[in-house]
Amino acid sequence: MKMKKFKNLSGNLITYAMVVVAFLLCELALSGMIDGFKMSRSLKGQLVPICVYIVMAVSLNLTVGISGELSLGHAGFMSLGAFSGILFSQWLLSAFPQTDLALVRLVGALITGGIVAAIAGVLIGIPVLRLRGDYLAIVTLAFGEIIRNLLNCVYFSLEGASVHFSFLDPNLPGTVVINGPMGAIGVKKLASFEAGFLLVLFTLVVVLNLINSRSGRAIMAIRDNRIAAESVGIHVTKYRMLAFVISAALAGMAGALYGLNYSTVQAAKFKFDTSILVLVFVVLGGIGNIRGSIIAATVLTVLPEMLRDFGTYRMLIYAIVLIVVMLATNSPMLRSTLDGLAGKLKNAKEGDKA
Amino acid sequence: MIQFLSYLVNGISLGSVYAIIALGYSMVYGIAKMLNFAHGDVIMVGAFVSFSATQYWGMSPLVSVVVAVAVCTLLGILIERLAYKPLRSATSLAVLITAIGMSWLLQNLALLIWGANPKSFTSIVNLGSIVLFDGQLRITSEAIVTVLANIVIMLVLTQFTGKTKMGKAMRAVSEDRGAAELMGINVNATISMTFAIGSGLAAIAGVLLCSAYPVLMPTTGSMPGIKAFTAAVFGGIGSIPGALIGGLLLGIIEILGKAYVSTELGDALVFAVLIIVLLVKPTGLLGKKVHEKV
């Protein structure tokens, strides 16, 4: 037992260390300290999205890997976070135009995004968590689409410290911040790589501590066998909800950071494909493996940039790589062939020794 | 009132397309127990093949449909063989991601072959429309053909799964794959057959969809695909009449919602109804209730 605890702890430390080292290397590269390695412009632009997708992947892994529920609507929470975060940050700007509140606005936006997404998570979780398996997946997909459709009809404008809101009616007094299908416009960019890094660290602290806590063990027990968990007195709905809401809140925070990284953001950015993309990160990184999610999110966000030389073939190659990796890691036939090869090598080595 | 009727006709016509696509989803899910997210893109390929056949190779519309069905059937079998068959014993999530990869692959292949510019699809049915009530109600020939095609397909498929040997094998595999294998049913051939039928139907659906809504792009299939999947779940996934009812209801709700509630909220309404149905009947309208073994 003690051994296992130690193993968990060292595993977590490796994850933290990996993130910190990667951050420091990026900072060094950004400041041009490393000779012969300069970050390209497009890669620099990817730094914040990478952080956002890492947070998205880790938070989705909490639902899919730790809690064992396939969610296809994670981008919905991200979009709620993005829009509410932008609204909060723009409101502070419009209410107190004189004072410089950049940090407060950023942190406030992240918190607002997290809270709004968490509330949505509770509201959606109540019906969703009654279902199981593929039905649960399709309902999360449906909620994701509903959120996107509703956001397309929402209009917000600011006049000093007052906020105007309308549904389906674009005529509002003051400066329009969220303009229906046009999305959030005129956003003052606040996101930075450092903020992204801190958000990733925050997410890791929350998720890793949850996994290694009493609640986390209860969640995993429910995943492995719901009936057995229930029979030893674990409150199933409570713990499933806990995982779902924390995951939603983190996605909302990631969304807020994402929203504040661009001057305009449309709800169309957060469609089904985005949910799927994050799910791909989680599955390729290894379901339930947090460190894997981080690596997969980073590699797969950078990969399309790396493939830019291939022009129009870029996404084609991406798709083929995805299929081949899935086949290579999951096909029993290929696996047994590889294992057989490994075994032969081992035998050959041992033969040499003898 | 007549306005309402005309919306209803549109809804039934769109719903028929959804029903045909949903059949493909439903059959594949029932037999292979996988969510084939690439199904929507097979629709798009079918429409593109038919488009190329009439525009570039000068074929008659009817022949082009046959060509499209043939190409998509082969494509379905090929996809199953290459991507899904090696994963028969893998987790469902791994198969899901592979299906998504396949969907991206098809979309990007179509992008390379046919380009990103939207093509305007010429309707394969050009028979004019039926005009009723002094021109107030107009039923397009596309709508009639779509509904007729839907009815024929449903009838043929129910007969096929109920009466023929292959159909019985399909039902057996969907009931219990292991037991079916023990009884000497060739499971792999049955699954391939299911993919073939589903993809062939997708081609028909694609042509009908683009005849009614003539914009053709590499992403044309994804949204109808998702909605048809919703329709399949709505009616009870794995059930043929369920796909029909789900598809029709979904089409009608979507068109009426867009007409009477708001154009932007039509899709949201569809998904909201789905959620309500699943909460009341967690396995869909006609889905079988599966009892949990302890």
Give the domain range for residue A283: 40-353
Find chain A residues with C-beta within 8 A of B117's C-beta. none
- Our CA-based measurement puts residue B293 at a distance from the nearest CA of chain A, in whole angstroms, of 10
- A185-235 pLDDT, tens per residue? 888 888 889 999 999 999 999 999 999 999 999 999 999 998 999 999 999
Tell me, yes or no, whether A73 lies in a domain.
yes
Q: Which has the closest alpha carbon to B69: B37, B107, B33, B43?
A: B43
Which stretches of chain B drop beneath a pLDDT of 50? none
Q: How confident is the model at residue A283 (pLDDT cuts 50, 70, 90)?
A: confident
Q: Which has the closest alpha carbon to A276: A264, A284, A267, A265?
A: A284
Structure tokens at B18: 């959804």
- Our CA-based measurement puts residue B218 at a distance from the nearest CA of chain A, in whole angstroms, of 13
Which residues in A188-219 are b (16+ Cβ under 10 Å) and which e?
eebbbbebbbbbbeebbebbbebbeeebbebb
pLDDT score of A130: 82
Put simply, whether A13 touches B (Cβ < 8 Å) is no
CB A198 within 8 A of CB A27: no
d(CA A154, CA A287): 36
CB A293 within 8 A of CB A217: no
> Between A and B, how many residue pairs show a Cβ–Cβ distance under 8 A?
132
User: Looking at the predicted structure, is the pLDDT value of residue A351 above 80?
Assistant: no
- Asked if the Cβ–Cβ distance from A149 to B93 is below 8 Å, we say no
- Asked if the Cβ–Cβ distance from B104 to A318 is below 8 Å, we say yes
Domains held by chain A: number: 1
**Which amino acid is present at B168?**
K
Higher pLDDT, A286 or A143: A143
Tell me the average pLDDT across A88-105.
84
pLDDT score of B235: 87
pLDDT score of A37: 64
pLDDT score of A305: 77
**Which amino acid is present at A268?**
A
d(CA A249, CA A121): 7
Tell me, yes or no, whether A326 lies in a domain.
yes
- Our CA-based measurement puts residue B166 at a distance from the nearest CA of chain A, in whole angstroms, of 27
- Our CA-based measurement puts residue A190 at a distance from the nearest CA of chain B, in whole angstroms, of 31
In sequence order, the β-bridge partners of residue A159 are A162
Structure tokens at A291: 């460190």
User: Looking at the predicted structure, is the pLDDT value of residue A353 above 60?
Assistant: no
Q: How confident is the model at residue A328 (pLDDT cuts 50, 70, 90)?
A: confident
User: Looking at the predicted structure, is the pLDDT value of residue A4 above 80?
Assistant: no
Average pLDDT over all residues of chain A: 86
Higher pLDDT, B123 or A287: A287
Q: How confident is the model at residue A257 (pLDDT cuts 50, 70, 90)?
A: very high
Q: Which has the closest alpha carbon to B279: A72, A117, A129, A121?
A: A129
Tell me, yes or no, whether A11 lies in a domain.
no
Tell me, yes or no, whether A247 lies in a domain.
yes
* ipTM (interface pTM): 0.83
Q: Count CB-CB contacts under 10 A for residue B36.
A: 30
d(CA B164, CA B14): 30
Q: Which of residues 287-346 of A touch B (CB under 8 A)?
A: 287, 312-313, 315-316, 318-320, 322-323, 326-327, 329-334
DSSP helix/strand/coil, A177: strand
Higher pLDDT, A184 or B287: A184
Tell me, yes or no, whether A33 lies in a domain.
no
Higher pLDDT, A121 or A310: A121
CATH number at residue A267: 1.10.3470
pLDDT score of B241: 87
**Which amino acid is present at A285?**
G
d(CA B227, CA A272): 12
Tell me, yes or no, whether A337 lies in a domain.
yes
- Asked if the Cβ–Cβ distance from B278 to A150 is below 8 Å, we say no
**A175-179/B119-120 β-pairing:** unpaired
DSSP helix/strand/coil, A307: helix
pLDDT score of A36: 61
Find chain A residues with C-beta within 8 A of B108's C-beta. 315-316, 319
CB A91 within 8 A of CB A158: yes
The beta-carbon neighbor of A70 closest among B93, B233, B275 is B93
Q: End-to-end distance of chain B based on CA atoms, in angstroms?
A: 54
- A9-53 pLDDT, tens per residue? 788 888 888 888 888 888 888 777 666 666 777 778 888 999 999
Using CA atoms, how far residue B200 sits from A190, A332, B47, B207, B245, in Å, is 51, 30, 12, 11, 21
d(CA A81, CA A77): 6
- Please state which of the ranges A168-177, A285-294, B29-38, B171-180 shows the lowest mean pLDDT: A168-177
Structure tokens at B117: 């510019």
Put simply, whether A145 touches B (Cβ < 8 Å) is yes
- Where are the strands (E) in chain B, listed by range? 119-120, 130-132, 137-139, 215-216
Tell me, yes or no, whether A8 lies in a domain.
no
DSSP helix/strand/coil, A157: strand
Find chain A residues with C-beta within 8 A of B109's C-beta. 316
d(CA B30, CA A45): 45
User: Looking at the predicted structure, is the pLDDT value of residue A2 above 80?
Assistant: no
B115: left (phi over 0), alpha (psi -120 to 50) or beta: left
